[in-house]
């Protein structure tokens, strides 16, 4: 009798002690931010976890964008997907076309009873991730845009005014000529050539990149970036290349190194390079808006964002979805947004965050950091909201391949762009076939 009492008593005590202090719901977040950006991600999760007790966001670095996406897909197919997945902007069409694999942002917020006002978001940023019916599908997270950067010291040495960067393409050509005359081996280069010289270029001039509003209107969109303006622009760059004014320095963001080392005096690339330049550049540098052709009506309009957004995966219990919604709400709060924007150089995704940063005097203390935002705050048109095309990762590779042939002098600008459009359209047709019905 006594033994029985002892045993049941100790079992009860054990049970009481082993019950968790609070049942925290874990939210798995897979991302592709390494290095200092990875620390930023971890700090965001920690900030959220510290601010409440119900949910715990667990961020996991899963490699680069094009490694983490296949990993998540494999996990999803095995029934093991994370709650939140960071997907790069070119994967948007793939995520949107996935049947039932994701829960749209507006839906997850609504189900959790959270207030969600899409008007609070910066149009050019939110528009990229919004469905044709105006509902937001994924939460913009780290959005950058295309900017022009220049080496102020090199400008001074060439007799150019370092506080007056060239804003139009004729001015850029003149500046490049002066820089070359003063001994520069690389007056102008560009990173992410597909993004800066074709996509963002088209939006900046309010010219169509693809039909159906650059793909927002349907999967039967087709590429049209071999139009007269784009051909003219690539031909200009090819001519500059022949004269040694424009020097090709590689794909992706490899050319950033050429600018940071001081080899190239002017370049175009992502606004998120700001953080890196601030840390390591040994010269005075400046940021400016992307150059435009002044004779094109409607230019400059706005530029297209890069970076990534956060998608909520489906098939998760309602409690976890509530946690995802709470985290999204936290991320969108003006204070968190403003702090992130100032720390990383990525754009603030809400207007309130932009105003908060402005009021704090941050833009005055750090000239050039508002260039990216100013390009984006404008109202967008149907041709400048962004680009939403399937198989876009491969299309970007095609753009790189054909442009390289133009720079090498193997093809004319028109031939290169025509070929790129033709090959890209085949991929779009394939995507349409694979995702219909």
Partner 1 sequence: MAAEKRVFFRSRWLPWLLLAPQGVVIGVFFFWPAFQAMLQSLQQTDAFGGSVEWVGLDNFRALWNDPTYLASFQTTAVFSVLVAGLGIAISLLLAVFADRVVRGAAIYKTLLIWPYAVAPAVAGVLWLFMFSPSIGIASYWLHALGMSWNSLLNSRHAMALIVMAAVWKQISYNFLFFLAGLASIPKSLIEAAAIDGARPWRRFWSIQFPLLSPTTFFLLVINVVYAFLETFAIVDAATQGGPGRDTSILVYKLVYDFKALDLGGSAAQSVVLMLILIVLTVIQFKYVEKKVNY
Binding region for partner 1 (CB under 8 A): 66-67, 69-70, 73, 76-77, 91, 94, 97-101, 248-251, 257-258, 261, 263, 391, 393-394, 397, 400-402, 404-405, 407-408, 410, 423, 426, 430, 433-435, 437
Rounded Cα gap, residues 350 and 334, in angstroms: 7
Identify the DSSP state of 296.
S
What is the rounded end-to-end Cα distance, in angstroms, of the chain? 70
Check the CA dihedral 263-265-271-277 and report its sign.
Answer: positive
SS3 172: helix
Q: How far is the CB of 73 from partner 1 (least distance, A)?
A: 5
Say how many CA atoms lie within 13 Å of 210 toward its Cβ.
Answer: 26
Comparing CB distances to partner 1, the nearer of 217 and 252 is: 252
Comparing CB distances to partner 1, the nearer of 58 and 393 is: 393
Q: How far is the CB of 94 from partner 1 (least distance, A)?
A: 5
Which residues touch 89 (CB under 8 Å, ≥6 apart)?
128, 143, 305, 306, 307, 308, 309, 386
For residue 186, the cross-strand partners are 264
Comparing CB distances to partner 1, the nearer of 108 and 264 is: 264
Q: How far is the CB of 32 from partner 1 (least distance, A)?
A: 13
Q: How far is the CB of 325 from partner 1 (least distance, A)?
A: 22
Distances (CA, A) of 379 to 108, 181, 359: 27, 40, 22
Comparing CB distances to partner 1, the nearer of 122 and 238 is: 238
Q: How far is the CB of 415 from partner 1 (least distance, A)?
A: 12
Q: How far is the CB of 60 from partner 1 (least distance, A)?
A: 19
Comparing CB distances to partner 1, the nearer of 96 and 349 is: 96
For residue 428, the cross-strand partners are none
CB atoms within 10 A of CB 13: 10
For residue 130, the cross-strand partners are 136
Q: How far is the CB of 368 from partner 1 (least distance, A)?
A: 25
For residue 399, the cross-strand partners are none
Q: How far is the CB of 432 from partner 1 (least distance, A)?
A: 11
Comparing CB distances to partner 1, the nearer of 12 and 434 is: 434
SS3 84: strand
Comparing CB distances to partner 1, the nearer of 112 and 393 is: 393
Comparing CB distances to partner 1, the nearer of 137 and 290 is: 137
Pairing verdict, β 55-61 and 25-31: parallel
E-assigned strand segments in 172-289: 186-188, 264-270, 285-288
Q: How far is the CB of 77 from partner 1 (least distance, A)?
A: 5
Q: How far is the CB of 36 from partner 1 (least distance, A)?
A: 21
321-330: b (≥16 Cβ within 10 Å) or e: bbbbbbbbbb
Comparing CB distances to partner 1, the nearer of 294 and 409 is: 409
Which residues touch 204 (CB under 8 Å, ≥6 apart)?
146, 290, 292, 299, 300, 301, 302, 303, 384
Q: Is the peptide bond before 300 cis (omega within 30 degrees of 0)?
A: yes
Comparing CB distances to partner 1, the nearer of 236 and 332 is: 236
Which residues touch 157 (CB under 8 Å, ≥6 apart)?
182, 183
């Amino acid at each position: 009798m006594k033994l029985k009492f002892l045993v049941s008593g100790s079992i009860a005590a054990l049970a009481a002690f082993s019950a968790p202090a609070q049942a925290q719901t874990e939210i798995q977040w897979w991302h592709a931010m390494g290095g200092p950006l990875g620390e930023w991600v971890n700090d965001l999760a920690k900030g959220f976890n510290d601010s409440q007790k119900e949910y715990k966001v667990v961020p996991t670095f899963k490699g680069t964008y094009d490694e983490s996406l296949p990993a998540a897909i494999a996990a999803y197919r095995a029934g093991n997907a994370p709650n939140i997945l960071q997907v790069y902007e070119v994967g948007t069409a793939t995520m949107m076309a996935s049947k039932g694999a994701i829960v749209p942002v507006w839906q997850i917020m609504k189900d959790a009873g959270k207030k969600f006002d899409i008007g609070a978001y910066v149009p050019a940023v939110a528009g990229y991730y919004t469905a044709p019916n105006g509902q937001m599908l994924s939460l913009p997270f780290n959005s950058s845009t295309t900017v022009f950067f220049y080496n102020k010291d090199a400008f001074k040495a060439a007799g150019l005014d370092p506080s007056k960067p060239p804003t139009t393409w004729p001015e850029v050509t003149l500046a490049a000529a002066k820089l070359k005359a003063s001994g520069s081996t690389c007056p102008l280069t560009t990173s992410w050539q597909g993004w800066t010289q074709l996509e963002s270029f088209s939006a900046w001039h309010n010219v169509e990149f693809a039909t159906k509003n650059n793909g927002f209107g349907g999967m039967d969109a087709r590429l049209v970036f071999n139009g007269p303006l784009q051909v003219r622009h690539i031909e200009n760059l090819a001519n500059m290349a022949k004269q040694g004014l424009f020097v090709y320095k590689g794909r992706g963001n490899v050319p950033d190194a050429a600018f940071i080392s001081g080899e190239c005096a002017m370049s175009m690339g992502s606004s998120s390079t700001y953080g890196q330049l601030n840390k390591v550049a040994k010269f005075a540098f400046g940021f400016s808006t992307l150059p435009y052709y002044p004779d094109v009506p409607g230019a400059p309009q706005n530029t297209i964002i890069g970076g990534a957004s956060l998608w909520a995966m489906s098939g998760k219990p309602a409690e976890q979805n509530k946690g995802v919604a709470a985290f999204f709400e936290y991320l969108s709060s003006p204070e968190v947004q403003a702090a992130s924007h100032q720390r990383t150089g990525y754009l603030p995704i809400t207007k309130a965050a932009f105003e908060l940063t402005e009021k704090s005097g941050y833009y005055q203390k750090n000239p050039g950091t508002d260039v990216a935002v100013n390009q984006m705050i404008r109202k967008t048109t149907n041709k400048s909201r962004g680009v939403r095309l399937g198989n876009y990762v491969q299309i970007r590779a095609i753009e790189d391949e054909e442009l390289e042939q133009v720079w090498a002098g193997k093809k004319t600008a028109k031939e290169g762009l025509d070929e790129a459009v033709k090959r890209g359209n085949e991929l779009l047709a394939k995507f349409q076939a694979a995702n219909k019905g």
